[in-house]
Structure 1
Amino acid sequence: MASKVAPKAATGPLNPKTVHREFFGFPGSVVIIATTTIVLYTWNFSCNVKDGCELPLTAERWAHIFAGAMNYQNYLSLEAFKYYVMWWTWLAALYFIIPATNIQGVVLRDGQRLSYLMNGFSSLLVTTLVTLAVYMKAGTEPFLWIADHFFELAVASWIFATSLALFVYIYSFRHSYVERPGKPTVMLGLAGNSGNPVYDFFIGRELNPRIGSLDVKVFCELRPGIMGWILLNVCFAIKQYKDQGSVSVSMWLAIVPQIWYCIETLIFEDKVLTTMDVTTDGFGWMLSFGDLTWVPFMYTVQARYLSFTPVTLSTPYAAFLAGMATCSYLVFRLSNNEKNAFRTNPNDPKVQHLKYITTESGSRLLISGWWGAARHINYTGDWMLGLAQCLATGMNTPMTYFFSGYFLVLLVHRNYRDEHKCHEKYKKDWDKYCEIVPYMFIPYVI
């Protein structure tokens, strides 16, 4: 029977009430929702073909941004919202239609292992074929429309992401959460069971909200935003070709690593099942907005800038950036593959030679290979890959470096969460591990 009382924290051994609140709880969640939305608006009204790309450091620039934000008729578009809903629905339909591999997730607190349909890469291939068919029939016009109506689509995604987060928050109260022997309850996120509706809406109340077999969190993590990132980059490259006569080396260096990053994320989509987003965090506004709006519409700022600003790179500098991107990607991918292979089967010949320590809880912590070099070596590779993409835009504006700066803050914060979680879980064993592997990001440096 559904709960008919006011929202409050469900308590019990499996769903304990949240004590430690991330991001300073209620006030922090309000600040983050407001700040990220303001940043989305600021980067649109400060970095575009009409206004150039300058940080708003004067009252005049801020007045311009405020005036643009108030003139909502220019970006609040029913047509854009319709197209965004069609995009999300199309990918959800492919999730059910395309043959998929059934993968078991990690063991949850109640002993369950949820099943996930893995067909993201196949969905990308089908979507690519349909996109090519659209190009063959209609030419570049649909792609130029997307580039020219970028912000209308961004706002549409914000509305959709916020609505989805509100839906899953309300949806999480469909159960009584009474814990009975042999009958596991719906799992809540450890951080989102505070009883404060604003904070729980933001951080995510239910761990794995599902509509039928569609896991909303994993779907949003991998499909609409990741594939939207690819599509937007392609549209901006097409716009540059139309307006400037060619696709520049700088554009290729910015978008090729990003597109490949997205493709290989979908190729290795089952690896997301062991990440903190899936195993620990609930699905709320933070992930909904991050997956559906922030990733595709803020991470494409480099391509958007280059679509209206010619940037010429010297051959040696371009070669340096290509090498930097390649090496950074290899650090990121090889370290993650090593970790996932060890977690899946420590006796796999590929990782059997690695050294580790065994904790009192029975977990094994790697102390050799990539993870013997630094505790979060994958973060280093991930950040350096993003920095290489920003460097491709030249040095004319700091706004195209937002991706790198934000990503650094994100990874440092995630490192803090990882370290805190591991210290709570492994206690003295974690201290021992940190003595053996003293560096967090870069061996012999930090």
Structure 2
Amino acid sequence: MSKHGEEKYKRKFQSGKIGDLNANSNDSTHQLSIHIRHGHNKFWSESILPLTLCIACPFLVRSIVFICDHSHGSIMEFFSHILFDQTMTLKQVLVNFFYFQWHWPSALIIISFLLYAVIMTMLIPGDEYSGPITDTGHVPVYHNNGFTYYVISLILFALLTVLLKFNNISPTYIYDHWEEFLSTVNTFAFLLCFLVILKGKYMPSTNDHRSSSNWLTDFYRGVELYPRIFNIDIKLITNCRYGMLAWALLSIIFCMKTFELHGYTDSALVSCLLTLVYLTKFFWWES
């Protein structure tokens, strides 16, 4: 949507022609309301629950890797290691499940991929389209270039794979260092979320933001509805451009590694192809 179109929406909004809006909608300092809870319910829902999820989710990711790599895929063997293996020290438990290791080669891949997603999203042309108007009258504007971005990225990945193979390097390096990669990406995600919280609290992009005195609540729930940095939509980059493309590329990488280890297998190929079909549909529907 052009600037003229956005202004038109805002004028309609201010004149009351769009929807049934509450009395605070026309206030330029309006913030999204926060559901206030009291007593123990507030303590559990706004402190204990966010803290539990922040701790449990990285632990779950590391546990799945440990089950596959060190427990022969057996959950029972995993719990046996955790509960009854007296040779496993507290330090080993922390390293295997809670320690956020920073692996610089993995960090370089993650940051480079993020920069690639940002640059390509900005450079690839596409028609403007608008998202739904918010309670404060803001209309988010995007460029319709998702499918083009997806196709170009797959082609570039194929060319990069060929180039790396000529130099005896393989994208399956990520598979070979998967534990370090997951630990690094978890650490990076926490740092990114913390920076987004700071940005939302002190430099919000729009009036669609909410903040509380509880940092755990803000970390878990988010502060801004449409956070932007240098006019780059953070949600679009992390969820659609970075996350969904990473899903596709990791599926290909793991399929390649399966072929390297075990030769051709139907299951790996079918799983990879089904994932790519789903993600192709996602990017196509976005357009």
Q: TM-score range by the shorter chain?
A: 0.7 to 0.9
Partner of 1:259: 276
State the secondary structure of the residue aligned to 1:207: coil
Distance 1:94 1:22 in 2: 43
**Cα distance in 1 for residues equivalent to 2:77 and 2:46:** 30
Does residue 1:153 correspond to 2:181, yes or no? yes
Amino acid at match of 1:154: L
Query: SS at the partner of 2:170?
Result: helix
Which of the residues 95, 105, 109 maps onto 1:79? 105
- In 2, Cα distance between the equivalents of 1:69 and 1:251? 32
1:187 match: secondary structure: coil
For 1:238, the aligned partner's letter is M
- 2: CA distance between counterparts of 1:212 and 1:69? 38
Per the TM alignment, residue 255 of structure 1 is displaced from its structure 2 partner at its CA by 2.3
**TM alignment of 1:16-415, pairs within 5 A:** 16-19=33-36, 24-48=45-69, 51-56=71-76, 60-62=80-82, 67=92, 69-70=94-95, 76-139=102-165, 141-175=169-203, 186-188=207-209, 193-246=211-264, 248-269=265-286
Is the 1:41–1:69 Cα contact (8 Å) retained in structure 2? no
Give the 3 Å change call, closer, same or farther, for CA 70–185 of structure 1 in structure 2. Answer: closer
- Total equivalences in the alignment: 248
Q: CA deviation at 1:74?
A: 11
Q: 1:22 to 1:126 in 2, by over 3 A?
A: farther
CA drift of 1:68 comes to 5.9
Query: For each residue in 1:53-103, what CA deviation from the matched residue of structure 2 results, as whole angstroms up to 9, or x when unmatched?
Result: 111556542255962642699953111111111111111110111112211
Aligned 8 A contact 1:91 1:223 in 2:
yes
TM-score normalised over the length of structure 1:
0.51
Cα distance in 1 between the residues matched to 2:48 and 2:100: 31
**8 Å Cα contact 1:77-1:152 kept in structure 2:** yes
Shift of 1:133: 1.4
CA spacing shift, 1:254–1:69, aligned 2, 3 Å: farther
Q: What code does the residue aligned with 2:55 have?
A: A
Query: Could you list the runs of 5+ residues in structure 2 that have no partner in the other structure?
Result: 1-27
Shift of 1:13: 5.0
CA contact 1:46–1:56 (8 Å) conserved in 2: no
Residues 18 and 194 of structure 1 are in contact (CA less than 8 Å); yes or no, is this contact kept in structure 2?
A: no
Aligned identity (percent) is 17
- Distance in 1 (CA, whole Å) between partners of 2:152 and 2:43 is 39
Listed as ranges, the gaps of 5+ residues in structure 1 are 1-10, 178-183, 271-446
Name the aligned partner's letter for residue 210 of structure 1.
R
CA–CA separation in structure 2 for the residues paired with 1:212 and 1:54: 47
Q: Distance in 1 between matches of 2:145 and 2:89?
A: 41
Instruction: State the SS of the aligned residue for 1:117.
Output: strand
Q: Deviations over 1:295-328 (max 9, x none)?
A: xxxxxxxxxxxxxxxxxxxxxxxxxxxxxxxxxx
| Counterpart residue identity of residue 235, structure 2 | K
Supply the distance in 2 between the matched residues of 1:100 and 1:154 (Cα, whole angstroms): 33
In the TM superposition, what whole-angstrom CA distance separates every residue of 1:180-203 from its partner, at most 9, and x where no partner exists? xxxx952115xxx34311111121
Instruction: State whether residues 46 and 65 of structure 1, in contact with CA within 8 Å, keep that contact through their aligned partners in structure 2.
Output: no
Letter in 1 for 2:213: G
Q: Name the CA distance, whole Å, in 1 between partners of 2:89 and 2:259.
A: 29
Could you list the per-position Cα deviations for residues 29-56 of structure 1 after superposition, in whole angstroms to 9, with x for gaps in the alignment? 00011111110110111112x5421115
What whole-Å deviation, never above 9, does each CA across 1:137-168 have from its counterpart, x for those lacking one? 22273222111112222122112211111111
Distance 1:65 1:131 in 2: 42
Name the amino acid aligned to 1:47: C
Residue pair 1:75, 1:151 contacting (<8 A) in 2 also: no
SS of the residue corresponding to residue 142 of structure 1 reads: coil
Measure, in 2, the Cα distance between the counterparts of 1:52 and 1:269.
Answer: 40
Matched residues in 2 for 1:171 and 1:242: separation? 44
1:260 and 1:169 map into 2 onto residues whose CA distance is 35
Q: Could you say what the CA RMSD is over the residues aligned between the two structures, in angstroms? A: 2.9
- Is the 8 Å Cα contact of residues 140 and 226 (structure 2) preserved in structure 1? no
Q: Compute the displacement of 1:17 (Å).
A: 3.5
Higher relative contact order (CA 8 A, sep 6+): 2
SS at match of 1:260: helix
